[in-house]
Amino acid sequence: MRRLGKSYPHPFVVLVVLASPLPQVRVGVMAGRRVGGAVQRNRAKRVLRAAIQPLLGALAPGYDVILIARPGVLAANSREAQAVLQRQLQRAKLL
């Protein structure tokens, strides 16, 4: 999916979107070793999951979405991450 999808980079997160034949939206969250150790990677994923949760109902159906954490997300709180995700999803025309 990473190779076939369209990506929208930001210092906090890379949003990867791919059209899907399924009627619902599927969202995955990833954090690589570049983000930090296990504790930092888990925190980054928690921040991104908390940020995407309120936006799930408004997403356009029929897409697979991957959120790839970047090291900058560790300095962000949930509100900042949600604002960034909202802008990225609007750029991808999913909101």
What pLDDT, in 10s, does the model give residues 11-66?
999 999 999 999 999 999 999 999 999 999 999 999 999 999 999 999 999 999 99
Question: Is-contact 57 94, C-beta < 8 A?
Answer: no
Place of tokens 């969202």: 27
Q: What is the pTM of this model?
A: 0.92
Helix, strand or coil, per DSSP, at residue 1: coil
pLDDT of residue 89: 96
Classify 52 in phi/psi space as left (phi over 0), alpha (psi -120 to 50) or beta.
Answer: alpha
pLDDT of residue 28: 97
pLDDT of residue 1: 72
